[in-house]
Structures are given as C-alpha cells and as structure tokens.
Amino acid sequence: MTKSLAVSLYLIALSLTSIPVSSYTFIGCTDIHKYKPQPNDPKAHYAGGTSAGCATYCSSLGTPYFYNQYNTGTCYCSSVSPSANQYTNGSGDQAGCEGSDYEIYAMKDHIKSFKLEGCYTTITTSQNPGSKPTLEACFASCPSSKSVIFSPNSDTNTFDCKCDPSANINSPGGGTTTCGEYGWFAYSRSFSDRRMEDKRRLDKQMVLDQHVEECQEEEEEANGTLSDLTKVVVETVIDLCFV
C-alpha cells in the first residue's frame, strides 16, 4: 500500500468516527406557556418542522433532548428533560402534538433505545418502582426491562413509573388514549444499546471497505499507467541505442 493511500484511508476512518447519530425517541408534548427555552439552548429552523432535521442538528451538538415546534419549524436543542408539570395532551395515542405545541424527543442513551408503543389509561406490570422526580430516573429504575411505562403527574410534578421484563404492553380494559399528563406512555425496547452500537460500527466498516476497494482500484490503474509509460521509455532508449 502506498503512503498516499494509507493517508487517505486514515482520513476516511477519522471522518467516519465523527458522523453524528440522530436516533431519537418521542417522550411527549408541551406548549409555549409551559416550556421556556434555556438562554443557552441552540436554536434552528427547518422547513416543514421536520423532527429529523432538528434531530440531526442537535445530535451534532451532543445535546440529549430537543424540542420541535412542527407548525413553525422552530427547533431547540436542550440538555434538560421535561418536568412532569410541563406535559400537555397530544392529538392521539401515537404522539401527535397539537397546534404550536412542542414535540419533545430524547437522544439520551438508554431512553433512545426504546420506542413508543402508545398511551393507555391503565397498565398492569410486574414491577412498580413508584414515583420518580425525573424522566431519566424513571428509565434508570428499570435497567434490564424490555418495557418501561411512565405517567407524568402534574399535581406532584413527578413521574409514576412501571416496568416489565416482557415487551408486551398489558392494558386490561384500558384501551389507548391521548398521550399527555396522567396518561401512561408505554415503551418497548427496540434495540439494545450494544446492538445499536454494533450496527453503527458495521455501517461504518462497510463504507470504509468500499473506499478501500475504490482506492485499490485507482492505485492499480495508476500503476498500470505508470508501467505502460515505463515500457515506452525503455523501448525508446533501446531504439536510440541501435540508431
């Protein structure tokens, strides 16, 4: 391998390790009266108010949460998770926030490895850690569970927490309900953090392998061209010797 090829591969690998990962999980809705951005929260705008654009931007800054206002395209990156008394109702059991309300998403490790299954009026689980002051504490109280369920309680400004070893959400007679305060947000683990990391490494390796193959092909082509040129020079010298 030539020195220039080695340098190119090093730069490619370095750039791949810095690619931001923007996986994220919906965790609720809040309105403009209950949510006030922190003075240092980065702000951006995205056409159509896409959560994906907001996620990519905030992921590049390393913030664990973001607040996305769909109808204006306003995006705030934040290091602060929502308090229980900030929650407002969505427009359905799968998240939709209303009007100018903010969609709240987590990109924080552990939380982002779960996906929202829906919201319910009642939930039955085998484990009940009880009330926790923050959303992070609720998820942390169920470290090995395949499902985590929380309910924001505005009266106490705490999160009622439940979890279960099974990923099946058990809601006898409860049915689905609008996501919001006093409702149960039910999550199941989509991928373990280890599996997610393995997938990212595999994706990066595939890109790197492709670049290695392309560089090798270019090097072989260059060597072939150089060989042809050398051959022409040698033949020319020989011809001159016999003149």
**Predicted confidence (pLDDT) per residue in 153-182, tens digit:** 999 999 999 999 887 777 765 667 788 888
- Say how many residues make up the chain: 243
Would you state the pLDDT for residue 14? 38
Contact 29, 97 (CB under 8 A): yes
The residue ranges of every structural domain in the chain are: 22-192
Joined together, the tokens standing for residue 58 give 């905030």
Per-chain mean pLDDT for the chain: 77
pLDDT over threshold 60, residue 5: no
Would you state the pLDDT for residue 12? 42
Return the closest-CA partner of residue 23 out of 201, 225, 200: 200
Q: How confident is the model at residue 78 (pLDDT cuts 50, 70, 90)?
A: very high
Q: What is the pLDDT of residues 115-148, one digit of tens each?
A: 888 888 888 889 999 999 999 999 999 988 999 9
Phi first, then psi, for residue 69 (nearest 5°) are: -100, 105
pLDDT over threshold 60, residue 114: yes
Mean pLDDT of 109-116: 89
Q: How confident is the model at residue 191 (pLDDT cuts 50, 70, 90)?
A: low
Would you state the pLDDT for residue 227? 61
